[in-house]
């Protein structure tokens, strides 16, 4: 359905996902640093890890539900840095703005990202 509706105006197709599409491995993922601005904690996210897990492991209180990038519960405000969006929640326009990130699946395009958490 998504493929057939790809030429429709943005927002014309409403989707509700019950599981994430198969993840596509991304070659070249590297570790990066996350500063949780409100908590003052900095963590390193490994190449094969998630922001959510790194923050949880460091004791930073985060919200999450699906951990697959389909529900939006972990949406977090980006203060500084560029997100590498891998979620299925944000529209292309929202992803381009770089204002929010789904910390369960998305990563950083920059060596460091600062989040309002």
Mind listing the pLDDT tens digit for each residue in 16-43? 767 766 666 677 899 999 999 999 999 9
pLDDT exceeds 80 at position 2? no
Which residue(s) pair with 114 in the sheet? 35, 80
**CA 10/CA 13 separation, integer angstroms:** 7
- Return the DSSP state at 34: E
Looking at residue 52, the DSSP 8-state letter turns out to be H
Q: What is the pTM of this model?
A: 0.83
Topology adopted by domain 32-115: Ubiquitin-like (UB roll) (3.10.20)
Whether the predicted pLDDT of 1 surpasses 90: no
Considering only CA atoms, which of 32, 27, 50 is closest in space to residue 42?
32
The domain locations on the chain are 32-115
Q: pLDDT of 74-114, one tens digit each?
A: 999 999 999 999 999 999 999 999 999 999 999 999 999 99
Q: What is the pLDDT of residue 4?
A: 83
Bin 93: left if φ > 0, else alpha if -120 < ψ < 50, else beta. alpha
Map tokens 């949880």 to a residue: 56
């Amino acid at each position: 359905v998504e493929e057939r509706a790809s030429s429709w105006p943005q927002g014309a197709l409403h989707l509700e996902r019950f599981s994430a599409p198969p993840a596509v491995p991304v070659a070249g993922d590297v570790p990066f640093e996350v500063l949780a601005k409100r908590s003052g904690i900095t963590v390193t996210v490994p190449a094969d890890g998630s922001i959510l897990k790194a923050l949880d492991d460091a004791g930073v209180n985060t919200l999450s539900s699906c951990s697959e990038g389909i529900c939006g519960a972990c949406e977090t405000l980006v203060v500084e840095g560029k997100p590498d969006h891998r979620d299925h929640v944000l529209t292309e326009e929202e992803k381009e703005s770089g204002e929010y990130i789904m910390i369960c699946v998305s990563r950083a395009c920059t060596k460091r990202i600062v989040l309002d958490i």
